[in-house]
Amino acid sequence: MEKISPLWKVEDSDSQADTLRSLIDQADATVIGVGAGMPAADGFSYVGPRFEDNFADFIEKYHFYDMLQAFLAKFEDWSEYWAFESRFVLLNGIDQPEGKLYHHFQQFLENNHYEYTILNTNGDNTLEKAHFDKDRVFNYQGQFSRMQCSKFCTPFTYRDDDLIRKMVRDQRNMRVPEDLIPRCPNCGAPLEVNKRTDQGMVEDAEWHREEKNYHDFLDKWNGKKVLNLEIGVGHTTPWIIREPFWKMTKESPDAMYVMVNQKDYLIPDYLDGQKVRLNGDIAQVVGQL
Ligand SMILES: [Zn+2]
């Protein structure tokens, strides 16, 4: 265990869940960054049977190796795009059941009346299904269940679960009928899944409301004993959760940073005394809180 700021007591325990519980308990408030490792630890894997059983035809044609890679792939045209995406959205954004791990985490935070906010980079419906308070969640990367204009012409997103189901049901040979392809009510361009790419993302009124809530929370607790906790954050978009969490921790001497991840990503030396690494299985570290 590294040397730790005297403000915080770090439990000398064999259980990393005990260590994490104690830190959350000591904190005035906890800022939680949730990455792709969290749903994966809850069984919502983007590789293996969950992917192979639902997309055998697309895997055969494109040799995709995981569902997220496939989700961002270029397809032949909109008909094929929506054949893939409707199945993906139904599986991960609409019909995905409540996860045990998310349920446990939500109960833990709510039953103990902790002050917390969540910055989420997953587009799935895991937080929604586990009844997390919408006012405490900032879905930074959009939502699979919503659609945006592929030309980004207006700051609106749309949800139509019935249409998604119809596209899944009525598709043949990896194509949906042309007349089912959703269109932008404003400019007529095809709609696509609400997500961020190099071209950007439609950030609608709900996105801006969540952003404001998140920043209001940070402002309210700024300078206090804040725990900046990242869970299952990967390496693809460090500027969303990891680097801002490092910066917030560095700029606030009373703050603490915790990385929950089985991969030993680097944590900079300038956080010495303000960092704790918990490299156990997320299903156990979070699941045994
Ligand atoms: Zn449009």
What is the pLDDT at residue 5? 76
Residue 198 pLDDT more than 90? no
Q: What percent of the chain clears pLDDT 70, i.e. is strictly above it?
A: 99
**Tens of pLDDT, residues 238-261:** 999 999 999 999 999 999 999 999
Residue 1 pLDDT more than 60? no
**Tens of pLDDT, residues 60-78:** 999 999 999 999 999 999 9
What is the pLDDT at residue 228? 98
CATH 3.40.50.920 is right for the domain spanning 16-41+98-142+204-285: no
Query: What's the 276 CA to ligand 1 centre distance in angstroms?
Result: 46
Rg for the chain, CA atoms, rounded:
20
pLDDT band at 33 (very low <50, low <70, confident <90, very high): very high
Query: What's the 188 CA to ligand 1 centre distance in angstroms?
Result: 6
Domain ranges for the chain: 16-41+98-142+204-285, 49-96+144-193
187 is annotated as contributing to ligand binding: yes
What is the pLDDT at residue 258? 98
Question: Token pair for residue 48?
Answer: 């293996």
Query: What's the 154 CA to ligand 1 centre distance in angstroms?
Result: 6
Query: What's the 152 CA to ligand 1 centre distance in angstroms?
Result: 6
Q: What percent of the chain clears pLDDT 90, i.e. is strictly above it?
A: 93
165 is annotated as contributing to ligand binding: no
**Tens of pLDDT, residues 79-126:** 999 999 999 999 999 999 999 999 999 999 999 999 999 999 999 999
95 is annotated as contributing to ligand binding: no
184 is annotated as contributing to ligand binding: yes
Query: What's the 61 CA to ligand 1 centre distance in angstroms?
Result: 30
Please state, in angstroms and as integers, the Cα–Cα distance from residue 66 to each residue in 51, 58, 70, 262, following that order. 7, 11, 6, 20
Query: What's the 38 CA to ligand 1 centre distance in angstroms?
Result: 34
Could you tell me the pTM of the whole model? Answer: 0.95
What's the mean pLDDT when you consider all of the chain? 96
Query: What's the 76 CA to ligand 1 centre distance in angstroms?
Result: 21
Residue 2 pLDDT more than 70? no
Question: Token pair for residue 63?
Answer: 């040799």
What is the pLDDT at residue 194? 97
Q: Which of 92-96, 143-147, 196-200 has the lowest mean pLDDT?
A: 196-200
Query: What's the 182 CA to ligand 1 centre distance in angstroms?
Result: 11
Query: What's the 140 CA to ligand 1 centre distance in angstroms?
Result: 21
Pure H helices in 53-137: 56-62, 67-71, 78-89, 100-111, 126-129
34-48: average pLDDT: 95
Could you tell me which residues are beta bridge partners of residue 190? 183
Residue 3 pLDDT more than 70? no
Q: Is 89 left (phi over 0), alpha (psi -120 to 50) or beta?
A: alpha
Cα separation, 234 vs 286, whole angstroms: 17
Query: What's the 230 CA to ligand 1 centre distance in angstroms?
Result: 35
